Amino acid sequence: MTETYKRACGTCMLCCKLPSIAELNKPQGKWCRHAKPGKGCENYPNRPTPCRGFYCIWTWDERLGPEWHPSEAKFYLYLKANGNVVLMADPSAPLAWRQPKYYQTLIQASASLLAKNNSMRVICGKRSLFLLPDREINIPSQDEGKNVSLRVVRKLGDISYELDVSD
Ligand code: SF4
Ligand code: SF4
């Protein structure tokens, strides 16, 4: 869906299936009505803002090997405008991102993000969590669908984390 490509999507259209997109009245996990799986978006010139502003990390980070192609990995990573990263996992393969070939890199990326007070959130269907270098913080089910951000609290050499939740 992104406009700045360094690498081609190929037949992958995972980002046209997994997320909810309010502008399209598209629920999470259902194909967008404009998606022609294996072919592309039939509404590309008029696609809505979330599709235009979507930065799939696979398409521009050439450090990622072919195993990171979303159609093979069964997840994709995208960068939000606020600098946070979201890993959107295909519920048909919810543990794929935990494989060692991905996990160590994800943990390193999480540490780099945290150093800048940013975070990595993993979303898989109705469940999500923040992935940290040394732990995972599950987002309570009652807070799913709300704006949830991770606050890093540094005090006297200790580090702790709190969730900020707003509607
Ligand atoms: S998830 Fe990434 S690689 Fe797959 S179609 Fe979307 S932008 Fe392209
Ligand atoms: S409008 Fe096009 S780019 Fe956006 S989700 Fe639908 S098929 Fe994908």
Could you tell me if 60 and 79 lie in one domain?
Answer: no
How far apart, in whole angstroms, are the C-alpha atoms of residue 108 and residue 116? 13
Q: Is the CB of 124 under 6 A from ligand 1?
A: no
Could you tell me if 79 and 135 lie in one domain?
Answer: yes
3-state DSSP of the chain:
CCCCCCCCCCCCCHHHCCCCEHHHCECCCCCCCCEECCCEECCHHHCCHHHHCCEEHHHHCCCCCHHHCHHHHCEEEEECCCCCEEEEECCCCCCHHHCHHHHHHHHHHHHHHHHCCCCEEEEECCEEEEECCCCEEECCHHHCCCEEEEEEEEECCEEEEEEEEEC
Closest listed ligand to the CA of 2: 1
The confidence score (pLDDT) of residue 2 equals 44
Closest listed ligand to the CA of 79: 1
Could you tell me if 82 and 155 lie in one domain?
Answer: yes
Could you tell me if 54 and 35 lie in one domain?
Answer: yes
Residue 165 phi/psi, 5-degree rounding, is: -120, 130
Q: Is the CB of 87 under 6 A from ligand 1?
A: no
Could you tell me if 113 and 47 lie in one domain?
Answer: no
Residue 145 lies in a domain: yes
Domain tally, the chain: 2
The single-letter code of the amino acid at 95 is L
Q: Is the CB of 114 under 6 A from ligand 1?
A: no
**pLDDT (tens digit, 0 to 9) for every residue of the chain, 167 residues total?**
544 578 889 899 999 999 999 999 999 999 999 999 888 999 999 999 999 999 999 999 999 999 999 999 999 999 999 999 999 999 999 999 999 999 999 999 999 999 999 999 999 999 999 999 999 999 988 887 788 999 988 888 888 888 999 87
pTM of the full structure: 0.92
How far apart, in whole angstroms, are the C-alpha atoms of residue 16 and residue 124? 15
Residue 69 lies in a domain: no
Could you tell me if 58 and 124 lie in one domain?
Answer: no
Which residue has tokens 């997840």? 75
Domain of 79, in residue numbers: 74-167
The confidence score (pLDDT) of residue 4 equals 57
Site to probe by mutation for ligand 2, drawn from 18, 26, 32 as the one with most ligand atoms within 8 Å of Cβ, is: 32
Q: Which atom of ligand 2 is nearest to the CA of 19?
A: 5
Residue 74 phi/psi, 5-degree rounding, is: 70, 25
The single-letter code of the amino acid at 24 is L
